Amino acid sequence: MLDLPCKGVFPLIELIEINKIYKTSKKTFFQALTDVNLKVEKGEIFGVIGRSGAGKSTLLRSVNLLERPTSGTVIVGSNNLMLLKEQGLQERRKRIGMIFQHFNLLSTATVRDNIAFPLKVSKQSPTEIAKRVDELLELVGLREHQHKYPKQLSGGQKQRVGIARALANEPDVLLCDEATSALDPQTTESILALLRDINRKMGITILLITHEMDVIRAICDRVAVMDQGRIVETGTVLDIFLDPQNSVTKQFVNEVIETPGQETFGTYQAKGRIIRIAFRGEQTYEPILYDAVRGTDATFAILQGTVSRMKDTPYGQLVVELRGSDADVNRIINELVQHGLGVNEI
Ligand SMILES: Nc1ncnc2c1ncn2[C@@H]1O[C@H](COP(=O)(O)OP(=O)(O)OP(=O)(O)O)[C@@H](O)[C@H]1O
Ligand SMILES: [Mg+2]
């Protein structure tokens, strides 16, 4: 339970060439997943983002075979789930927790009994169950609500019950299906903070799906973008935000951070060349631009700038106009690139 997180050592979840075809009527079929490949490393928080109908839930439910892929391989830890018999699959599933957008709690059971439910199913003794439920109530901050029924709880509290229940059997993986989509922004933030805590303190690997880029930015290490049943782009959250390649990815990124382009400056008549510089990590706070310009006869004007944070990493975007000879401007751009900054002329 208190294993230290051990990031990036080996994939804990591996989906290989997954296809899922739903039968929609006697004669019609719908392909919800096409050739999906995904590796989630032990200890990371991995997000999958896509529009409604992109296949996110189908993908997530393939990981514990709630939805059995039509073809492909599903590996979790050391097991190829597609090859397990029913009992082996049940055993493995116990250690794959899952939480849902609409919580899926038992309405006729108290908070305490909802959390105890999976422990009863796995036939633990009443003493063990009581002890574990107490620990979980403490973890999710619901001790004083333990005798309430779901309808007496707020959305955020219901999701805390869902999380406690999912953690009852000490899973190594937590699957989250739009876990914060039914919550207001503040409650979303507190649930995301709880998930981040669980990941850090217990080393539980989290695979979450969402249609909100803010969720990805707040807690994920890496992200895959889905469109029409396919994964169209995968990368670290920073790379995806600062240098999106696919058009769907670009749309998602633009919803949360503006990537300045020519249109941003309207009728402004530039006197020099305009470049967009992307900083990441500790570079964000270094005077790299100043140093690069200082060695030349050129000057610069800042047209726009932002500094923000993605999970734990600071990043910044700066749009500057470099005024000087072409040779000087090229020298400055080279210098910036050599320092590992992302530079785009716009
Ligand atoms: N049981 C089913 N039978 C037939 N088609 C299905 C079934 N489940 C899902 N689909 C279809 O597969 C596609 C992907 O569905 P899925 O639920 O995985 O999307 P999603 O990305 O989770 O969407 P949302 O953001 O709306 O939850 C959709 O077009 C959906 O209509
Ligand atoms: Mg869904």
Find the ligand nearest to 53 CA. 1
Domain boundaries, the chain: 11-95+171-255, 262-345
Ligand 1: residues whose CB is within 6 Å? 22, 24, 30, 32, 50, 52-58, 211
Tell me which of 24, 34, 36, 56 to substitute to probe ligand 1's pocket, judged by most ligand atoms within 8 Å of the beta carbon. Answer: 56
Please tell me the distance between residue 226's alpha carbon and the centre of ligand 2 in angstroms.
12
Residue nearest to atom 7 of ligand 1 (CA): 22
What is the identity of the amino acid at 94? Answer: K
Please tell me the distance between residue 53's alpha carbon and the centre of ligand 1 in angstroms.
5
The pLDDT, as a whole number, for residue 256 is: 80
- Walk along the chain (346 residues) and give the pLDDT tens digit of each residue: 444 444 445 799 999 999 999 999 999 999 999 999 999 999 999 999 999 999 999 999 999 999 999 999 999 999 999 999 999 999 999 999 999 999 999 999 999 999 999 999 989 999 999 999 999 999 999 999 999 999 999 999 999 999 999 999 999 999 999 999 999 999 999 999 999 999 999 999 999 999 999 999 999 999 999 999 999 999 999 889 888 899 999 999 888 876 666 667 777 788 899 998 988 888 888 889 999 999 899 999 998 888 888 877 888 888 999 999 999 999 999 999 999 898 988 8
Please tell me the distance between residue 177's alpha carbon and the centre of ligand 2 in angstroms.
7
Please tell me the distance between residue 67's alpha carbon and the centre of ligand 1 in angstroms.
11
CATH class belonging to 262-345: alpha beta
Whole-model pTM: value is 0.87
Atom of ligand 1 at shortest range from CA of 59: 18
Residue nearest to atom 31 of ligand 1 (CA): 53
Atom of ligand 1 at shortest range from CA of 20: 12
Atom of ligand 1 at shortest range from CA of 55: 18
Is it true that domain 11-95+171-255 has CATH number 3.40.50.300? Answer: yes
Tell me which of 48, 58, 177, 210 to substitute to probe ligand 1's pocket, judged by most ligand atoms within 8 Å of the beta carbon. Answer: 58
Find the ligand nearest to 56 CA. 1
Please tell me the distance between residue 112's alpha carbon and the centre of ligand 2 in angstroms.
28
Please tell me the distance between residue 248's alpha carbon and the centre of ligand 1 in angstroms.
18
Please tell me the distance between residue 308's alpha carbon and the centre of ligand 2 in angstroms.
30
